[in-house]
Structure 1
């Protein structure tokens, strides 16, 4: 299946949903401290999932579009120290990235940390779009403050841009249940020397809730889809650097190829 057909199928699946605006999304489902569950969902199963969620979720539409272009630049050391921290399951680990909203020209700098109960703690600040592939002095100040506050440690001084991910994202929100689904297609992982395109007939769904599994997680379980325990960044590093160890994720990586 081509990315064009996937985009058409996604739009058709989301068209019947009630519309939610961006300010409503930000107000009702910020979920900066949350539990994330990730699923790699065949497109046909995704269509069934959306059919079952129409009565409780709304879809984000802006200017007649429900799919938006994103680019994330991740920062790590040359020897992938942050990746190795995730591989080893260290409690004090983090990811650092810029995220560009290519359709609007907005950009933010984000740090994601793991809390004491495995919840994700995300902090962000606005960031200049032209600087998205580098860390400014203000970025270092932000990173230092967050790591000192949460972990009592300084940042890794050797951080630099490691790779970029591009994709198209659609968003579903439960306005009353404090839950959100992000649905990513057309994923591409890029490093300076090469890139990897993820198969176009799957949707990377991330369920973001304030705690227990939500309605979408229950439906996915009924449809036979189980969560995968891996981050988009770790998948990208492993696919772009096949000589790196990725033992915990070998079966998951096969789903992306």
Structure 2
């Protein structure tokens, strides 16, 4: 499903203008899991004043993300069991511009989430540089985790997808991720053909796209590209938080059929 086929009728907006109009929002993020047909039906009804991010004539960008975890999957297990202190470390590669960043997302004892990032070599997105490991060590130490955690972090799960970004008339933003693919460190691969992830980013009030989704009886879903993807590829892992999404949207046996 190509972005132009969905949003070709909308006016374009550049990156600087998009950031300028939407960056001051106190964000509430809502994620939705859809099929292609559902996505097309919902987006056909968006306000014509909606604009689509366009960079160098392209209305979509390719992302590649490598998640790092310990051999015993500490980051995954902290998320799966809903621990208040948890972290997620990833390198994100903006393929079209060949820029990359190392991003650390932490949640502390009071439930606050902090996401920070530093530049990362675009030709080394699958590895942790000494600078990157030191950056990770500082973050995990702040959570009260042992110093050995940062030393053990290794590439665990890679995701790839095509993202289209919308600016809604009320100033909220939305992203539409298609062509999703996962590959883990144990050789399993998965690329569900009919999976789309939509995320809205708005003020406390629901966005116009949220309301369109709700009218279509599509409700916010609990999904993480890292944790849900890894759980779908590794049925041996605890996954109760994401079981319904996996049963509904991830083909049974897909990871085994596509294993390297």
TM-score of the superposition, structure 1-length normalised?
0.85
188-197 vs 96-105, greater mean Cα deviation: 188-197
SS in 2 for 1:91: coil
Distance 1:154 1:112, change over 3 A: same
Aligned residues: 248
SS in 1 for 2:226: helix
Instruction: Report the CA distance between 1:167 and its aligned residue.
Output: 1.1
2:130 equivalent to 1:170:
no
CA contact (8 A) 1:99 1:132 kept: yes
**Residue 218 of structure 2: aligned partner:** 225
Distance 1:44 1:108, change over 3 A: same
C-alpha distance in 2 between matches for 1:174 and 1:32 = 13
SS in 1 for 2:68: strand
C-alpha distance in 2 between matches for 1:196 and 1:153 = 31
Distance 1:45 1:129, change over 3 A: same
Gaps of 5+ in 2: 252-260
C-alpha distance in 2 between matches for 1:117 and 1:176 = 31
TM-score of the superposition, structure 2-length normalised?
0.85
**Residue 107 of structure 1: aligned partner:** 100
CA contact (8 A) 1:38 1:228 kept: yes
The CA RMSD measured in Å over matched residues stands at: 2.5
Distance 1:256 1:84, change over 3 A: same
CA contact (8 A) 1:28 1:176 kept: no
Moved over 6 A (4+): none
2:163 equivalent to 1:185:
no
Distance 1:176 1:222, change over 3 A: closer
CA contact (8 A) 1:95 1:112 kept: yes
Gaps of 5+ in 1: 1-5
